[in-house]
Amino acid sequence: MTESVEMLPKSGNMVHPHEMIEQLQENKCGVNRLFSRFKKRCALASWIRENINKKECCFFEGVRDDICKCGYAKIDHVDDAIKPENFTGETWDKHRHVREVPTDAYGDISFGGVGQKTSKYARVSADTRPDVLYHLLTKQWKLSPPNLLISVTGGAKNFYLKARLKKMFQRGLIKVAQTTGAWIITGGTHAGVMKHVGQAVRDYALSSSSMQGQIVAIGVATWGIVHNREALVSPEGWFPAHYSVDIKGQGRLSCLDNNHTHFLLVDDGTQGHYGVEIELRSRLEKCISRKHIGGKDSQVTIPVVCVVLDGGPGTLTTIYNAMLNGTPCVVLEGSGRIADVIAHVAGLPVTHITIASMHQLMKKFFSQEYENFSNLNILKWTKMIQDIIRMPHLLTVFRISEDSYCDVDVAILQALLKASRTSESMGVEYWKRQLELAIAWNRVDIAETEIFSEESQWKSSDLHSAMFSALVGNKPQFVSLLLENGVNLWDFLQDEQVLCDLYKQLPSCFFLQKLAKRIYSSRHSMMQTFTQPLYPASTMTYQVNMSMESTSPSSSKNVKGSHSPLNNGRAETHRDPGRDLFLWAVVQNNGELAEIAWEQCRDCIAAALAASKILKKMAEKGSDAEKAEDMTELANHYEKHAIGVFTECHSSDEERARKLLVRSSPFWGRTTCLRLALEADDKSFVAQSGVQAHINQIWCGELSVDNPVWRVMICMVFFPLIYTGFLVFRRDEAIQRETQRSEAIKTVQTVTGSTVKTNTRDFDPTRQHRLKPLDCWSRLACLYNSPQVKFYLNIVSYFAFLILFAVVLMIDFQDTPSPGELLLYVWLFSLVCEEVRQLFHDPDGFGFHKKAKMYINDLWNILDVLSIVLFIIGLGFRLTSALFYAGKILLCIDFVVFCLRLMAIFTISRTLGPKIIIVKKMMMDLFFFMFLLSIWVVAYGVAKQGILIQNDNRLDWIIRGAVYEPYLIIFGNVPTNIDKTSFDINSCSVNATDPLKPKCPMLDENQTPVFPEWLTIIILCVYLLFANILLLNLLIAIFNFTFQEVQDNTDRIWKFQRYDLIKEYHSRPAAPAPFIIFSHLYLFIKKMLLCRPSIMNKEFKKELPQIEEEELLSWEALMKDRYLQSTQQEQSQSMERRILDTAQKVSTITDRLEREEETISAAMAKRLARLEEQVVQSTKALQWIMDRLKSQGLSAKEAPPLTSATDETPDTPRDTSETEDSFHVNARQLYYPNSKLTRFPVPEEKVPWEVKFSSYAPISYSCEDTGDHLDGSESDVLDNYRNPGGRTGISGRGSLSHLGPNLSLDLVLTRWRDSERSILDYLAMWDEGQGLLTLPGGPVESADHLPVTLKKIMGNTLYEKINAKVSEGTKVCDGYVDDCRNTDNAWVETTVLTIHLDQTSPVMNDINNMVVSSHGSVQWREVSSKTRLSSNQKDSLRQVAELHNRKF
């Protein structure tokens, strides 16, 4: 009930429930949305009550003032807990008297204030399983699984953080969370490091747009220390709960931070105890770290990193435990306390980290808190810090004064990569995991610096999975990086299944919507087919069938006899992986990926034009205006690319550029670049000079484009002039050019005396003999077959037709058709035949459907059809005596249409052609303007007619008065019947009896109009004001705007549109109408009767030989590279780019100056501190000299007690590789294995028994499962056994079998892998517990026999065979082993025995059978330093390699 009340809108006035219900019923959409939210919240509440519990005390035991030992007051307990019957006489125990019950605090939490921040929260039991919490976060709270988990720990109280460090921390933390999709986990309270994280999240939320991803900051806090937690309690859940952050009144409790997005409030049933959440938080982080990035298919688990600021002893424990679990830690130097202590000693040898130095550092960085630290605590922390320093691959110190890290985000990510960079895993698989992490984080900078380095060697196949992830994850920068580092697209897309998988992984886009419709109805097409399918039919049942006019894949059944593209040799040669990837990116409107793929396309101009076509068509079909605008913008971008590359080509070689225009592209459905540009309506591409030069060449045919028009027209009449050189033909120009080139080459050879090497394509000596001058008949045919000449002849013919038509209509229109009229009918029949030929003429192979649509979309064709239809109807009426006059009227109207068709001849004119475009635009404006004007005309006309005339029943005169007369008023024809002074009764009919006169206005007895004169005049004035002045001037303004808008583009539009006219006349027969009918008869006989195929015209489409095709594409790729280079140079030299570069440089210089300033100040402080210490030491030394001089018995062997603290705190950290660990390490781990015991801390300097350690008090432990049982009091027995490696921090037998040395045997079985003895193998076993390989071995009583534990693995037979060979084996080493089970009184001593087996040995067959049947638990591995063994066993394996003279 509370939930539903919270969801209702709040109002200041009381609203009756029935009124609220009625209001909601009126808004059905609002009700549905409300119901959906209510349903989701009910489902969430139900799941939480079933799976999430809290803890409560069930036994009240008062301590003081009605306060229970659990910390809660008596009134906070349930009634059963106050007088329990089950716990009578018992003392309160946390583990027994706290129970779990369903939680009562969950939902949304609103912090109020500016921005109304709302977060998710839940009160959870401390024993909740972490996988349940992960389900709550991801499934119920709908968080996307993280690619990285950042655990921020440190000071829980407010601490000072330098402004620069604070800025870098917050900026770096948010950047790494934003770019990688990370979760940030903190303590969740409004104090200390959690407050700094919250401020970073707040600043990001204020500065970023809602389109950017939300930063997930999860606060894991203790329920019992949350101030104002009562506001969060509601058994039904709060949506939202209103929580106030009261810092002043919180006391010892803490308020939740209002900038975190999610809260897990951990409850253990107590109140006021901090740190309850630590264990559950650790288990949750461990659970998340086992999840896989991107799902179970991924091999990479979610990495976890710990970021440390400030902090106390608890933070040190957190760091220690995290690093023991393999979690890398990033410590920020300068943040204070324990962080600065670790940063100070990081990089030092472990031997330099002494108890004394730790006292100094603790005193320095903890100041007053140091007084409360006991020696035992310092001892424990020294041991922890020494162990931390021993794991340098897990420790990263961010030093603000160093240049190694530019920001915290880089330090965090580099720490994660460094953590897994161990010597045994530096293989290809390791680099693949690193790369997959970098891709998941979307950090290409990390991949460039850390992964694609000289250390890693990549093959194209190694990067295919990363390439697929980068493409599917929309990581264009990674795609570019992978292509630069060896990915071969042909290898990547060689398997067609990869491309199919890419399409299956397409994000939600318009293309998928079209695909769904296409599958539902295969007849529906995004565009019409004007190319062949790009992907031929495959052997797959359902195949992508895509053409340039049908960009959506169709679900088509396999065609019998079809072949897969990869199995078909011809399809193989015409397959372009760059095109495949480019299409995949274009259909999802992904500009960045499409740009990268376009650069990889072989036929780049055709690819750019195809993309323009596809994108424009998708924008036209799409319903989302914003996405459609993006598609149009991207289409224009690729049109610019096509223009840029073609311009570069044309400026380099005009002849090759023209070939690019008309060559048939095998990669794009056998279409041409010019056809693609026309289909895509790319006017700018067609309008460029190179394309226009080709179009002009087509227009002139075999005539030279340099011939003046007047010469061509003269030769049309006096054709013998063509034999005099009056007209220049292209063949003549070609012969002249080659002759001049040949003469020039001969001249150079004569002058220089050397042979000039020529390009075989540009000049062929034999070609001059092939190019012969045109003969007389060829010249005549070339003249009249020129589209230019055809056009002029048809203009003359059309004018003659119109003159004949006019003469017939005005002079010679008889009852019986005259010879002139019959000639007109024959003429029109020839025009009809030409229109039919144009409709069916399909040299490009479009198909009738496409061709018919193209024909109808042309305005001039519509006028042609309209004029022919009107003529036929008029002719039918004219031949019918009853409709003779009506037929003539129709023919007169038809004459008007024929005259309008005459405007098409101006299309070819550079001056008048653009004006026709402007007229078309203005006609559209006028059409819409007439709607607006008609409103005023009809409004005034009806009002005037109603006021003046009483009940006129004549429809024609009603229309005259209501429409026609108001329309004429606009042009100055002012009516006289609205003014009594100019009224003439003779101009009208009183009773409307005269059909030729309008009806008179209502009259009085004096025959005077009775209408209100003042009203009619006012209405007329208002009408004239709006119609004549406002609307007409509006029309003029619209025309002016259209003219100005179109004028700039008319030249471009004209160049685009004239192509259709040129192509029409190129295919048109040479003879004009009516003689063209003979050409039609010839074509009919050729096509229908003789069935001869039409000859492909090479002016519009040309098939090139394979060699020439490859040369042309290579040259086009070179021109593309030049274009891209020039484009980059222009962008780099642009003003915007220069401003950005300058701003970046200024920012870099500022950061460098600030860093240098801090570095100098820090160095100065260190130098002063060293100087001060040296002065103190000098004073002590002088005092010692003075004291010794006073005494006479100075010993020569005594030395002054000079100790320099500077030795332990050098200016620059030294690498831990300098350390020489002479003492055991594993035997001193704080946590004893397989138990809950903690060793007594033993720092490095206190390990030897010879060193005095008065405070050493190890606990005694002996496992009860095996061996002799002792307690700690039997010290006499324990003193007989002392660990030779030194102190371990625990006494007794531990988990070993007996006191003293516990013998163990490790067996190294080796073999040669091949007969050449190039590779030495050893037998290894997989240890699931440690995740490492191990040598076969185990505890033994004597080194003369194998461990009995191997009998279970090997079997009795094989065990006995190998046991018999133990005596033949070679002892590699034996002695004390640094084992984590060692104690002060019990330790492990191992003997390593190696046995080499020949391939012919009968034992080898048994071992190989065991390896096969073990399914990976037993395996042969190469003897190498990269093998995954423990450090002790790896040393043993190295000695085995030396015995066989193998490099390790």
Query: Helix crossing, 577-587 with 591-600: angle to 10°?
Result: 160
Residue 563: per-residue pLDDT: 36
How high is the mean pLDDT of the chain? 80
Among 154-158, 488-492, 606-610, which range has the highest average pLDDT?
A: 606-610
Cα angle 197-200-202, degrees, rounded to a multiple of 5: 110
pLDDT digits (tens, 9 = 90+) for 494-503: 888 888 888 8
**Residue 848 in tokens:** 């009738």
Residue 643: per-residue pLDDT: 93
Q: Which residues pair with 1310 in a beta bridge?
A: 1322, 1396
pLDDT digits (tens, 9 = 90+) for 666-708: 888 888 898 888 888 888 898 898 888 888 888 888 888 888 8
Q: Picking from 209-213, 1134-1138, 1182-1186, which range would have the lowest pLDDT averaged per residue? A: 209-213
Residue 156: per-residue pLDDT: 82
3-class state of residue 414 by DSSP:
helix
Confidence of residue 387 (pLDDT cuts 50, 70, 90): very high
- Among 535, 692, 525, 540, residue whose Cα is nearest residue 618: 525
Residue 1007: per-residue pLDDT: 72
The one-letter amino acid code at 1119 reads M
Whether the Cβ atoms of residue 679 and residue 701 lie closer than 8 Å to each other: no
Whether the Cβ atoms of residue 1027 and residue 934 lie closer than 8 Å to each other: no
- C-alpha 474, offset from chain centre: 3
Q: In the chain, what percentage of residues exceed pLDDT 70?
A: 84
Does the pLDDT at position 401 exceed 60?
yes
Whether the Cβ atoms of residue 348 and residue 1213 lie closer than 8 Å to each other: yes
Contacting residues for 1128 by C-beta, under 8 A, at least 6 apart? none
Residue 512: per-residue pLDDT: 60
The answer, yes or no, to whether the previous bond of 1074 is cis (omega within 30 of 0) is yes
Q: CA 1062, 1064, 1065, 1071: dihedral to nearest 10 degrees?
A: 180
How far, in Å, CA of 511 to CA of 622, rounded? Answer: 9
Q: Picking from 329-338, 529-538, 554-563, which range would have the lowest pLDDT averaged per residue? A: 554-563
Pairs from 1013-1016 (Cβ < 8 Å, separation ≥ 24): 1013/978, 1013/979, 1013/980, 1015/947, 1016/944, 1016/947, 1016/948, 1016/978, 1016/979
**Residue 744 in tokens:** 């020039």
Whether the Cβ atoms of residue 230 and residue 289 lie closer than 8 Å to each other: no
User: What is the maximal distance between C-alpha atoms in the chain?
Assistant: 162
Does the pLDDT at position 1273 exceed 60?
no
Backbone angles phi, psi at 989, to 5 degrees: -110, 125
- Among 565, 592, 564, residue whose Cα is nearest residue 576: 565
Whether the Cβ atoms of residue 148 and residue 302 lie closer than 8 Å to each other: yes
Q: Tell me what the mean pLDDT of segment 955-960 comes to.
A: 84
3-class state of residue 1386 by DSSP:
strand
Whether the Cβ atoms of residue 529 and residue 549 lie closer than 8 Å to each other: yes
Q: Tell me what the mean pLDDT of segment 769-779 comes to.
A: 76
Residue 20: per-residue pLDDT: 42
Q: Which residues pair with 108 in a beta bridge?
A: 120
**Residue 456 in tokens:** 């890693």
Q: Picking from 186-200, 415-429, 1375-1389, which range would have the lowest pLDDT averaged per residue? A: 415-429
Whether the Cβ atoms of residue 784 and residue 1056 lie closer than 8 Å to each other: no
**Beta pairing, strands 304-309 & 329-332:** parallel
Does the pLDDT at position 128 exceed 60?
yes
Confidence of residue 402 (pLDDT cuts 50, 70, 90): low
Q: Tell me what the mean pLDDT of segment 933-961 comes to.
A: 84
Confidence of residue 760 (pLDDT cuts 50, 70, 90): very low
**Half-sphere CA count of 1434, side-chain side, radius 13 A:** 13
| Claim: this prediction has a pTM higher than 0.75 | no
Q: How many CB atoms lie within 10 A of CB 475?
A: 24
Contacting residues for 299 by C-beta, under 8 A, at least 6 apart? 292, 432, 433, 436
Does the pLDDT at position 539 exceed 70?
no
**DSSP line for 741-809:** HHHHHHHHHHHH-SPPP--TTT--TTHHHH-PPP-HHHHHHHHHTSHHHHHHHHHHHHHHHHHHHHHHH
How far, in Å, CA of 257 to CA of 252, rounded? Answer: 16
Does the pLDDT at position 766 exceed 80?
no
Q: Tell me what the mean pLDDT of segment 1196-1212 comes to.
A: 40
Residue 515: per-residue pLDDT: 57
- Among 208, 321, 311, 225, residue whose Cα is nearest residue 268: 225
How far, in Å, CA of 578 to CA of 911, rounded? Answer: 43
Instruction: Please tell me what DSSP assigns to residue 401.
Output: T
How far, in Å, CA of 1205 to CA of 357, rounded? Answer: 8
Does the pLDDT at position 330 exceed 80?
yes
Does the pLDDT at position 1414 exceed 70?
yes
- C-alpha 597, offset from chain centre: 14
**Residue 1207 in tokens:** 């030795």
- Among 37, 30, 463, residue whose Cα is nearest residue 240: 37
Contacting residues for 1023 by C-beta, under 8 A, at least 6 apart? 936, 940, 966, 969
The position carrying tokens 């007409």 is 1032
pLDDT digits (tens, 9 = 90+) for 1348-1406: 888 888 888 888 888 888 888 888 888 899 898 999 999 999 999 999 988 888 888 88
Confidence of residue 31 (pLDDT cuts 50, 70, 90): low
- Radius of gyration for the alpha carbons in the chain, expressed in angstroms and rounded: 47
Q: Picking from 113-127, 557-571, 748-762, which range would have the lowest pLDDT averaged per residue? A: 557-571
Q: Picking from 83-97, 367-381, 1073-1087, which range would have the lowest pLDDT averaged per residue? A: 83-97
How far, in Å, CA of 331 to CA of 154, rounded? Answer: 10
Cα angle 1006-1007-1009, degrees, rounded to a multiple of 5: 110
pLDDT digits (tens, 9 = 90+) for 280-327: 998 999 999 888 887 666 778 888 999 999 999 889 999 998 998 889
How far, in Å, CA of 1115 to CA of 1108, rounded? Answer: 11
- Among 543, 537, 544, 545, residue whose Cα is nearest residue 561: 537
Q: Which residues pair with 556 in a beta bridge?
A: 543
pLDDT digits (tens, 9 = 90+) for 849-867: 777 787 787 778 888 889 8
Query: 1182 or 547: whose pLDDT is higher?
Result: 1182
Confidence of residue 150 (pLDDT cuts 50, 70, 90): very high
Whether the Cβ atoms of residue 544 and residue 500 lie closer than 8 Å to each other: yes
Does the pLDDT at position 1204 exceed 50?
no
Q: How many helices (H) and strands (E) are present in the chain, helices listed first? A: 51, 23
